[in-house]
Structure 1
Amino acid sequence: MQSKTATLSGRAITKVYRSGEIDIWALKGVDFDLYPQEVVVLLGASGSGKSTLLNILGGLDVPSDGQVFYNGTDISRASERELTLFRRLHVGFVFQFYNLIPSLTAYENVALVTEIVPNAMPPEEALELVDLLDRKNHFPAQLSGGEQQRVAIARAIAKRPDILLCDEPTGALDMKTGIVVLQAIEHINREIGTTTAVITHNTVVGEMADRIVSISDGKISDVKVNKERRKASTLHW
């Protein structure tokens, strides 16, 4: 992986939040790379800084110091408009809670995204990638938690993003349902080559990744390269 040019890179990323008279250091000079077509799992306890890192890499937040590069272009000092375009055109986000619009069907939730970007895939194609085409006319309330999360994944990848950033995508799900969601993420990575980062506190999920990056107290504490990726369907916790 490291012989390739990184799709997304962070250099000396620092994030400091001010709380009254106290500085809270969420990130302390982190270097991080995401390479084309790989899956990286970020492990760490709550408050370790992993979500802050993902938000900065995805353009949802900006660093207090340091730089972020997308295909070699520094986006860390980009304007809000430039960051909006970066997020819209290049990054898909999946969160622990699905953020679907209750009054829209699965199809319509995905179609919302495909209408605002060029060269989007048809909503049916995105839903088929997560094995939910037969549920396209169902509303979120008619879907299980795992199905709602897969709709959220379909919505994220329908715009054909270069990068898929997933923050605790299985955190609200039981093991069986969580594995189905991880299979959807795995399938998308293999089928369309989307560079993928998954945040989790579940160490077992790391076995499906190319690399496992552990974060502790705002710093990267360990990086492990897997010799081979386990299929999500074989995971158990």
Structure 2
Amino acid sequence: MNGTGRAEASAVMFRAEGITRVYRMGEVEVHALRGIDLELHPGEFVVILGPSGCGKSTLLNILGGLDVPTAGRVWYNGQDLTHADDGTLTQFRRDNVGFVFQFYNLIPSLTARENVAIVTEIARHPMRPEDALALVGLDGRLNHFPAQMSGGEQQRVAIARAIAKQPAVLLCDEPTGALDSATGVRVLTALDEVNASLGTCTVVITHNADIARMAHRVLTMGDGRIVDVKINEHRLKADELRW
């Protein structure tokens, strides 16, 4: 089953056809992806659901230009990324993609504002760091250092940093994985607000089935394949989730 089912037709941002990824570890071949077909559309909120080891992170890394497929092709707004060189992929990531990971990767010696400003200084059309932090509910923490903030606040700084360059797509790898449920809900609320306010195509990978209830579309993966596609006719808000 492919990942192209959708409630309504729109332009295609990402298209992947027949994506496979094989890692060689000595004499052993590990098949992380086994023929993925996928479309992502501007402005949608997609959750990619599945257990550890099913290929979610590998797929996200390929979409974000951090990895390349062993076979198959990937396009972004019609640009073929499959055989792009390192310079082209670097430019693609810098101009179009924001990343949020499970661990925040903030610089301890910089304030929240300064951590976000690192990105705005190299972006083509950046937001002001203050505006990005306000969007995730941290306008009162601009001058706080990471050590002065909770885990959820640090993750929201990481989200502000990712969106400050106004990327077309936001790729989130287990963004609530290191957080308790109440803090995770606050982080998911921030992601939902970004999606709604900026129209950023937002992709969240998770093993948590409850989070899938806030998505427009849910792609379930297993053993390197997309095994199910579900469209949520009624999305839940983040603060309606319980896990």
**By the TM > 0.5 criterion, same fold?**
yes
Report what 1:166 is aligned to.
172
Following TM superposition, by how much is the alpha carbon of 1:32 offset from its aligned partner in structure 2, in angstroms?
1.1
Paired residue for 2:196, among 190, 197, 210? 190
**Partner deviation per Cα, 1:131-187 (whole Å, 9 max, x = no partner):** 101101001011000000000000000000000000000000000000000000000
1:211 counterpart = 2:217: yes
Distance (Å, rounded) in 1 between the aligned partners of 2:13 and 2:187: 24
Aligned position for 1:76: 82
- What TM-score do the two structures reach when normalised by structure 2? 0.96
Corresponding letter in the other structure for 2:16: G
How many Å separate the matches in 1 of 2:26 and 2:37?
Answer: 28
* Shift, 1:228, TM fit: 2.2
> How well do the aligned residues superpose, as a CA RMSD in angstroms?
0.7
SS, match of residue 156 in structure 2: helix
| Mapped partners of 2:235, 2:199: distance in 1 | 15
Q: Partner of 1:145 in structure 2?
A: 151
Counterparts of 2:132 and 2:10 in 1: how far apart (Å)? 28
**Alpha-carbon distance in 1 for matches of 2:9, 2:187:** 30
SS at match of 2:160: helix
Q: Which residue of 1 aligns with 2:34?
A: 28
Residue 181 of structure 1 corresponds to 187
Q: Which residue of 2 aligns with 1:7?
A: 13
Aligned to 2:51: 45
Q: Which amino acid aligns with 1:194?
A: T
Aligned-partner Cα distance in 2 for 1:63–1:5: 24
What residue number does 1:100 align with? 106
Give the number of equivalent residue pairs: 237
Partner amino acid, structure 2, of 1:142: Q
The separation in 2 between residues aligned to 1:184 and 1:13, in whole angstroms, is: 31
Q: Match of 2:240?
A: 234
Divergent runs of 4+, >2 A: none
Q: Which moved more, 1:92-101 or 1:227-236?
A: 227-236
Aligned to 1:114: 120
Q: Distance in 1 between matches of 2:125 and 2:11?
A: 25
Distance (whole Å) between structure 1 residues aligned to residue 15 and residue 186 of structure 2? 29
Q: Which residue identity is paired with 1:13?
A: I
TM-score by length of 1: 0.99
Amino acid of the structure 2 residue aligned with 1:4: S
- Aligned twin of 2:97: 91
Map Cα deviations across residues 191-232 of structure 1 (whole Å, 9 max, x no partner).
000000000100000000000100000000100001021111
2:141 to 128, 135, 138: 135
